[in-house]
Structure 1
């Protein structure tokens, strides 16, 4: 990790993230009203992405990630029950915040079985769960239909977006550092086991060794993490980052899809909110807005976003 080339790549990633943020000051994004109209349903989208991911992983015998295989013992059963109840509550939208808090608790509980690093790699789930705690279950939920939930205000949405992007970006960075930059041999063994050669540099005729390609891939993943945390130019960042994420699905299949579903959910939120001139500034805040912050204050979502 502390080799000169790796540090140089990390410096380039940080510089590019700062450059994108500077560009966003002049050109923050494009207004896309057809996407902005989906804003009230983003909690619903997050619930679906979380619930399906958790249920799919659990059906395959996994905890919060394909790398966490649940043991056939009492501890495994208890962990599985926590995930199952959380997934069910989130999918239905019934006592949604209870389901979200269960998922948050699943992190520390999982550390007892799988260790700190494995759970750290799934800190993106924490961000999505906090999004639901802060923004509520949204429309098309049992809580909303029963009158137990309401439309979130702009301040609540702002805090929810902040928690979401910080957690998801941190997850991408932690995986990139631990599995690629700090230990490129681990990434090489993984691709060898899958029988896949991702070194597109060599395919293009470039003299790029596997280790160097892994370092570059790790730096790119760090860049995506920094850009998501920044939240600047959310539309462009989501569309660009979606390319490598989707390409890996072809090689790794269902487990990779289930593991990435929460990230896709977060990217959808940034894409939709980033398409609205009122909500876009919330995506790029580096600190969570307070209830008194302007233009957030105690205003509610514009009527056209609630129709």
Structure 2
């Protein structure tokens, strides 16, 4: 199972839990191969070009779709080069402001972005990341004066947010959770259509006045295109069983996500919707890539 990010991060940890559970269920070892770089494209390309026999898989995240939206010259087709196997879980992002900004809610963020001469800035884990395009969607919907500042990973982005050198971060829950618990930052909104059970007092962006904002991050498994349906179905059962059991289920819930049980076809439909959504954001003439 190729993880298209470096070892040690939250995605890698979930993938390793899935791999261990699959090993038990399939009766053969499932080994993690970390191939980070190019926003996940290096690892994805390895799987796209692998033999379609079920022995090489991609542990994909929402960045698989967002990166494809901003990189039109990828060495693979994000749909035709892959066979969806199963979605594991999905959860909201959190909109977090720097303590130095002083904003207590989304209305104050928008007011600051529109009234300050240079507006506000927002950070991300890199161009094409879910943080980047979520921030872009917010900027486009609110018509706010905001500048994107990419970093090489969520860790450096978080450091800059806490220091006050950047104003906003559309962040995954695992990235910011320790700092929320320590009271170093405050979550202003969640990006999903419904409030998170982990943060029941935090409003959705729609509730906060940004209509139609429904964004989640997700995890799933893809196989090379052309993998036989019987193999896809066997892998789907093993992955769904793994995601519904501990430790994966508890890990997802702890990080504010919902475990998901899907068929390969249903995952393919969701992936198509994700690609269409992010391509629309990326095609906006004011889209920032830097």
Give TM-score, length-normalised by structure 1. Answer: 0.26
Relative to total residues, which structure has the larger helix share, 1 or 2?
A: 1
Relative to total residues, which structure has the larger strand share, 1 or 2?
A: 2
Give TM-score, length-normalised by structure 2. Answer: 0.27
